[in-house]
Structure 1
Amino acid sequence: MTLDTHGRTRDADDTEQVRGNVLVSIGALLLGLLLAALDQTIVSTALPTIVSDLGGLEHLSWVVTAYLLASTAATPLWGKLGDQYGRKKLFQTAIVIFLIGSALCGMAQNMPELIGFRALQGLGGGGLLVLSMAIVGDIVPPRERGRYQGLFGAVFGATSVLGPLLGGLLTEHLSWRWVFYVNLPVGIVALAVIATALRIPRKAAHHVIDYLGTFLIAAVATCLVLVASLGGTTWAWGSAQIVGLAVLGTVLAVAFVAVERRAAEPVLPLKLFGIRTFTLSAVISFIVGFAMFGAMTYLPTFLQVVHGISPTMSGVHMLPMVVGMLISSTGSGQIVSRTGRWKVFPVTGTAVTTLGLLLLHRLDEHSSTAEMSVYFFVFGLGLGLVMQVLVLIVQNAVSYEDLGVATSGATFFRSIGASFGVAIFGSVFAGRLADKLADAFRGVSLPAGVSADALKADPRGIGALPPSLRPAALHAFASAITDVFLYAAPVALAGFVLAWFLKEDRLRGSVTAPDVTETLASNPVERSSYDEVCRALSLLGTREGRREIYRKITERAGYDLLPAASWLLLRMRKYGSVEPGALADRGLLPLTVLLDAERQIEERRLGTREGVELVLTARGTEAADRLARAREDSLAELLGDWWGPGRPTDLSRLVKELTDELCGSECEQPRKGAGSGATRVS
């Protein structure tokens, strides 16, 4: 094998081709993730128009709830089936299910059809969420995982902003049906790229899949949501149907507990509830999901119906809430990672969320844009303060073997809370609207074809009212929606009280702020404990993270060396020699940094030149051995009490992998004679 005209070997070309395939595959995974994340937010601004077209305002909440429930229930199954049968085919299957659901949603002719098709779409969406992130772990080594996590976080952050805007834009200028049809071209591109570019090493793992437990917990959640959404509206609270659903839910809950006690790999291990921090975090997560998705579902209705704002502009008006969430979520996570103090955030966050709900209750048909923006921002600020930290403290509270399922459990409860919140908000809104419209028009003669029931089914009927009656109708809608926030405030206040009972344990060194994928969307992704530690330690994959770890390694080993010098010594220990110029060409470190490190190594007689390569001296070998021991000790220290007696073998394997990865992969190591104009013949 010879060098090409650019001074690179064919091995390097092969490596770059592999990296190119990884980048293309990551792009396709991001498209799949974009679809699933977008559909959690894009529908909100289209809901008033959908209701006006299909009718059934009392069922509005189920357009959101059906997707959330199906997605939440399906994610553990997708995760474990991917481990057993290979993630590529399963990811393609999830895309196809999602696209079929999207097409059917766009063709729906009535509300029950749309709700059913949204559930099918959610089934595929759950697979897109869990598998896209799991596949990254298959194709990207731990050392490089951090940079790709940033991309996935950026997609979630972008969808939280773009979803309401894009939903409004499509609804206003095309049709609400395009909110669903827009998925088709994006999904087809993702499907084609995955089929041609994605190559996943086969790492099948045998799992005993808890089908029955998954079905039962989804059934319990569905019964609860049905009771919450249909009680007092469709059926009376004391009716046989509501009582029957409540009894059925209770029986299923008892059966779920019995099944989980015996399951080999339970979908939600009951022993987690013996950990106070997990139990409190689960309840607070439920409350956060309850408040967040309930508000996000009904605020566009308030803006469009009460203030007459277009669907597109209603998305713009929602931006202060999203900005508040992004600022406080990112900021709180970074502060916690640096200081190790976290309790102030769930306490403050639930308090600010309660205040935000009370402020939203103050809104009416006369509220100015500035007033609405401030209230939206305060509400988003409160949610962001608590969302990021809840996942982090759960990860810190459980043992290593429960790390993955505890993380997915915390987000699972937020998803259930979201489904429950949207249903409760919908039930309160429908009941209050009926009463307020009846009061507004009591004793008033309405034009032919206009009635309180007709206005409930199609809010556009307000425009047909005489000018003298419109203010009363608008006030009825405004107060019915804002009353919802008043009823939600005590729930958020309960979260504030519970947050005081959280015990502020010292954070493990490996527990850092979760990325945005775990905070800005309903995302109960099933990962293993191994995956979670990989993700927590992937900060070592960033250049800043590596520099800091090598500074600590050098200090622990008792040397006064540049971080890059320690890095070079450990590479020489692993590969026998290094060629700084070639390493700089590969972009691993800037040339000036490498030359300074090389000069220090030679001056201290830790290394010597052999042609263009640098090799260890006897003194350098001793230093490299001490650095290697310090490196493993530093990684183990990051893991805290997970790295104790009887530690799992996969955790030991992870530390070894990360130790190797901190030196760089073999494809980055120049081979003998492969640099500086030398020619290799294979």
Structure 2
Amino acid sequence: MAETSSKIYTTNSAFGREDVSTTDGKQNSSLISELEPKIKIESAPRESITDPRTWLVFGGLCLASFCVNLNATILTTVMPMITRDLSAANDYIWINASYNVASAAIQPFLGQACNIFGRRLPMLLSLALFTLGTGLCGGSVSTTMLIIGRAIQGAGSGGVMLLQEVITSDMFPLRERAKYFGIIMIFSSLGVTLGPIIGGGFVKNTTWRWVFYVNLPFGGVAFILAALFLRLKSPKASWRDRIIRIDLIGNAIFISATCSLLLGLIMGKQVHPWSSWRVILPIVLGVIGWIAFSIYQISPYCKEPTIPPVLFSNRTSATGFILVFLSCLLLDWVVYFIPYYFQILKGSAPLRSGAQVLPFMIFIVPAAGVSGFILSKFGQYKPLQWIGFGVTTLAFGLFSTMDSNTSMVKSVFWQLFAAWGLGSLITTILPAIQAPLPEAEVATATGLHAFLRSLGFVWAFTIPSLIFNNRVQTKLKDVISDPDIRTTLSYGNAYSQADSEWITSLSGRNKEQVSHLYELGMRSVWYGALAFSLLGFFLVFVEEEIKLREHLETEFGLEGTEQDGENKSTA
């Protein structure tokens, strides 16, 4: 039954903050009517998407998505060559870390910037940063230059991934969005899949610098399409008034805290032991910073919050933010640990283990697309989310039965279950988050959604590796009889030590014992994933099934439409 408690909250529109009386779980039509006539809302039927500019812009978004996701995986096969040529053996971890940290930390700020400056300027800036960073990386003559270039690339990439969802939300009614998110997902997955292949081709035939240069034409075309056709309405205001609206203090706290936390997580075990103060201190400072940020956001001193409290004013959106973190955590959990299973228990080489996870990587694309089209057809997200988490839970249960004797056929089918479940979640959570919120909060909600997605990807390596090492440590004395092997695998070294070459080098009883120990560790990893998946399944019960709007209600639609009214301006 729907909640009926009435509450007052503050919403950010492109024209400033408005105090709005609303009721939990209800459609926001009353909210929009209360904001009028201060806000001119565009209400257009589905047929308005026949405007050819819509498809030119959407095509540019798909190309940009392909570009940034190609970049995300293309380095996997060329990193050894890069570290050798730039003498970066001790700093290789920061080449990827700088990219990931910058990509995640910038997204909530850009979500707010979309409301203040419109969508066009942040998108052009993001594409420009990505292209600039790509050029710097390709021309790097030192590790420092490469790390700086990757950080600039990451900031641009984070902006593109956020803006592609925000702009899609501006062009299509809420009920239609999921299927277009699914189409973008196809291009994203194509980039992810082709990245290692293209990177390997460049390694074989030319220099590693071309793994960066290959992105320049894609980024350039996407920038030109955005510059020519991305003409969205934005509020009229002077630059001074717009800059004053930026939550400078809040963003400074949030970005600093996020960078500190993520750097601590990345350094854990890869640079320093988890028990090192160099790992613990930045994580603690990051958590304290997040707490300080949350307090500041609800204080009277924060005039326009980066993450407005209205985003958590209803149980559907608040739950959706948790679900997106869980779904992305579980998605990369599979991506990291299925290849790991093939390496340590089936003896596969790293390259082959990467190919053995392709059933999951390929099937998740149509699963996401089909779920998006079903949501657009029937307008109900909860059944799809129940199916998603339910099938994912089943998949992790099946993964927990895998050992060194499991057939390849079974492992492929179990991966298909996981792809079906997680694919069903990719395109259905963001529409659920947006459903109870006013359209004025689309950008900030999507910014938080994008950040939590990135955060889930970061934790997807940390949590299961800790589970694995802890399980191995507790069973080490019971399973391993050789004291030298026990020493090698002790104190959190089990994960980093495990590879097919080392295990193959063992003989007889030692090899059997190590394989059994790793089976126990992997089983605990899958049990941990199963617990998170079950949590997601039960959290879906907390959501309400809210009718998805079938008309476009936005302040940021394409210029030149019949609904422009008084709100037409150039972004």
TM-score of the pair, normalised by structure 2: 0.68
Contact 1:42 1:166 in 2 (8 A): yes
Higher relative contact order (CA 8 A, sep 6+): 2
1:391-425 Cα deviation digits (max 9, x unpaired): 11112111232233223333332222222223223
Task: Determine the structure 1 residue equivalent to 2:563.
Answer: 656
Task: Determine the structure 1 residue equivalent to 2:133.
Answer: 98
Task: Determine the structure 2 residue equivalent to 1:456.
Answer: 496
1:392 lines up with 2:427 in the alignment: no
The answer to which of 452-461 and 368-377 deviates more is 452-461
2: CA distance, partners of 1:212 / 1:463: 52
1:210 lines up with 2:251 in the alignment: no
Task: Determine the structure 1 residue equivalent to 2:42.
Answer: none
Superposed, which structure 2 residues align to 1:521-536 within 5 Å? 529-531=554-556, 534=557
Task: Determine the structure 2 residue equivalent to 1:580.
Answer: none
Number of residues paired by the alignment?
496
1:74 lines up with 2:106 in the alignment: yes
Between structure 1 and structure 2, the one with the greater Rg is 1
1:175-234 Cα deviation digits (max 9, x unpaired): 799787423123146437846994366977553333433343344444544665667994
Contact 1:404 1:530 in 2 (8 A): no
Task: Determine the structure 2 residue equivalent to 1:401.
Answer: 440
Task: Determine the structure 2 residue equivalent to 1:365.
Answer: 404
1:354-385 Cα deviation digits (max 9, x unpaired): 22222222222332211111111111111122
1:253 lines up with 2:290 in the alignment: yes
2: CA distance, partners of 1:20 / 1:505: 31
2: CA distance, partners of 1:47 / 1:359: 34
Contact 2:61 2:222 in 1 (8 A): no
| Amino acid across the alignment from 2:446 | T
Task: Determine the structure 2 residue equivalent to 1:428.
Answer: 467
Task: Determine the structure 2 residue equivalent to 1:199.
Answer: 228
2: CA distance, partners of 1:334 / 1:152: 10
1: CA distance, partners of 2:397 / 2:176: 40
| Amino acid across the alignment from 1:69 | V
TM-score of the pair, normalised by structure 1: 0.59
C-alpha deviation, 1:347, in angstroms: 2.2
Task: Determine the structure 2 residue equivalent to 1:506.
Answer: 547
Contact 1:225 1:423 in 2 (8 A): no
The answer to which of 186-195 and 296-305 deviates more is 186-195
C-alpha deviation, 1:248, in angstroms: 2.2
| Counterparts in 2 of 1:50 and 1:285: CA distance versus 1, 3 Å | farther
1:129 lines up with 2:153 in the alignment: no
1:621-662 Cα deviation digits (max 9, x unpaired): xxxxxxxxxxxxxxxxxxxxxxxxxxxxx9xx977259xxxx
| Counterparts in 2 of 1:52 and 1:231: CA distance versus 1, 3 Å | same
C-alpha deviation, 1:244, in angstroms: 4.0
1:456-510 Cα deviation digits (max 9, x unpaired): 3583642772543545455555554453222222122111121112122233323
Task: Determine the structure 1 residue equivalent to 2:196.
Answer: 167
Aligned counterpart for 2:339 among listed residues 300, 317, 324: 300
Aligned counterpart for 1:341 among listed residues 375, 380, 392: 380
Task: Determine the structure 1 residue equivalent to 2:31.
Answer: none
C-alpha deviation, 1:93, in angstroms: 2.8
1:403-448 Cα deviation digits (max 9, x unpaired): 33223333332222222223223433455567778877642678xx
C-alpha deviation, 1:297, in angstroms: 2.5
2: CA distance, partners of 1:97 / 1:457: 38
| Counterparts in 2 of 1:377 and 1:451: CA distance versus 1, 3 Å | closer
1:113-166 Cα deviation digits (max 9, x unpaired): 98887544322312343456778999xxx699x999989854531442552454
For the aligned residue pairs, the C-alpha RMSD in angstroms reads 5.2
1:156 lines up with 2:188 in the alignment: no
| Counterparts in 2 of 1:300 and 1:395: CA distance versus 1, 3 Å | same
Superposed, which structure 2 residues align to 1:436-451 within 5 Å? 442-443=481-482
Superposed, which structure 2 residues align to 1:25-40 within 5 Å? 30-40=62-72
Task: Determine the structure 1 residue equivalent to 2:216.
Answer: 187
The answer to which of 360-369 and 455-464 deviates more is 455-464
Task: Determine the structure 1 residue equivalent to 2:25.
Answer: none
| Counterparts in 2 of 1:408 and 1:101: CA distance versus 1, 3 Å | same
C-alpha deviation, 1:281, in angstroms: 0.9
Aligned counterpart for 1:321 among listed residues 353, 356, 360: 360
* Partner secondary structure for residue 362 of structure 1: coil
The answer to which of 326-335 and 490-499 deviates more is 326-335
2: CA distance, partners of 1:508 / 1:195: 32
C-alpha deviation, 1:74, in angstroms: 1.8
Contact 1:353 1:378 in 2 (8 A): yes
* Partner secondary structure for residue 128 of structure 2: helix
* Partner secondary structure for residue 388 of structure 2: helix
Contact 1:396 1:507 in 2 (8 A): yes
The answer to which of 260-269 and 477-486 deviates more is 477-486
Aligned counterpart for 2:369 among listed residues 313, 330, 333: 330
| Counterparts in 2 of 1:245 and 1:313: CA distance versus 1, 3 Å | closer
2: CA distance, partners of 1:60 / 1:434: 28
| Amino acid across the alignment from 1:260 | Q
2: CA distance, partners of 1:53 / 1:479: 40
1:6-65 Cα deviation digits (max 9, x unpaired): xxxxxxxxxxxxx999999987765443221223455678899999999x99x9998766
